[in-house]
Amino acid sequence: MNETWTALLYLAAAVCFIVALKALSSPRTARVGNLVGAAGAVVAVLVVLAAERPERLVWVLAAIAVGGAIGAVAAQRVAMTQMPQMVALFNGVGGAAGALVALLELPEGTSGEPAHLAVTAFTVLVGAVTFSGSLLTFAKLQELVTGRPLIFPGMRWVAAATVGGALATGVWVAATGSVPGAASLAVLALGIGLLLVLPVGGADVPIVISLLNAFSGITVAASGYVLGNTLLIVAGTLVGASGTLLTTMMAEAMGRSLPNILFGAFAGGSTLGGTTESDRPVRSAGPQDVAILLGYSRKVIVAPGYGLAVAQAQHTLRDLTDELERRGIEVVYAIHPVAGRMPGHMNVLLAEADVPYEKLKEMVEVNPEFRTADVALVVGANDVVNPAAHSAPGSPIYGMPILEVANAASVVFLKRSMRPGFAGIENELLYEQKTTLLFGDAKDSLGKLVTAVKAL
């Protein structure tokens, strides 16, 4: 394939990626956006295959077959609740691929321009940080290691020394093109990735996932420069820019700065509290009592959280809200930006149950409506409705904007137990007179509510 056709097809693929990213900004067009992006990726891969030498093509096709098989199995088996872990692994694989490409290209670039060597060193650094950080994030979400911030004595000095050593080694690689230096840089960068994620815990983990996603995009863009591939530069820049914007938006949604989220634990703070269940008295009720409260309301606002995803109860929740609407009750869904374990988690979950997008209201839009609601139905959420974000300066979530469910006339919590949420702190709203708790698995509890409401 000649260079003109290669450039034109790469341009077409780049346009597909840009259009796909724009389409993904709305649930109405997200499905089309995915298809457009996939088409662009197919075009890009076919161009590479057409330009590849025959003796290498067998290895390339074998790698695609293995990777495709793994991806197909994962897509079928991974539950919605495990999507954040999957995203973390994808970030890590992207970072590792970029770092490996840079390491393999370095021997050919030792006599190259300083700019080429500097970008190669940068790619190794960011790619290795992304890989180790993403693996640790996966382990935290999968509960292979504790979700609490992990700090050891002198950790800040170890981190500073590791970063300083990596920067010095990076300069060495950029100046000399040393392969042993690049390998040393990769090892130091792996350490930086671990030290970056270890102090982060609780509700801040989704923000780190988004940050590492941005890192993976930057790695791809840098590897595109190393390989002289314009399409990789475009695709990586899109991922890096969108990931950076998303990280900033999530940090703002938490009411904290990104440096505070990443390094706050070094200053003696914590992003995770205790994990034990409280034995304080609460007001609980059975499905029939809660059904009466819901069934004779005028307006119900549902606040979904990670517990809804764990129970896979989105379809049952839709059944309940449909039944309430048949009784003439207004129902809307309140969506917090960081509800769940990743951005947009609740939106995707409810879309699975064909909940009309018009009924999903973002936090800023829905908060004033809680004062007009008869019942706020909290399903599997805790931290994103916890008034401690406003009233407890020492709380890990202090300053985070929340869904103001406490302003509703009555609040109903569907909870499995009194165990704290992901941030590990108690929710004082659970002990107020206006609050009723319905204990049990969310799917089972919602099913009983559907039956009880129908019987009214």
Q: Which sequence positions are flagged as catalytic?
A: 383
Tokens of 319: 């059944």
Give the closest residue to 252 by CA, choosing from 190, 224, 189, 210.
210
**366: amino acid identity, one letter:** V
Residues 6+ apart with CB under 8 A from 37: 16, 17, 20, 21, 24
* d(C-alpha 413, C-alpha 429), whole Å: 10
Q: How many CB atoms lie within 10 A of CB 338?
A: 26
Residue with tokens 């930006």: 337
Sign of torsion over alpha carbons 416, 419, 322, 410: positive
Q: Are 132 and 186 in contact, with CB atoms under 8 Å apart?
A: no
The Cβ-side half-sphere exposure at 62, using a 13 Å CA radius, reads 6
Tokens of 309: 């995803």
Give the closest residue to 94 by CA, choosing from 1, 209, 181, 177.
209
Buried b (16+ CB within 10 A) or exposed e, 391-406: eeeebbbeebbbbbbb
* d(C-alpha 18, C-alpha 367), whole Å: 33
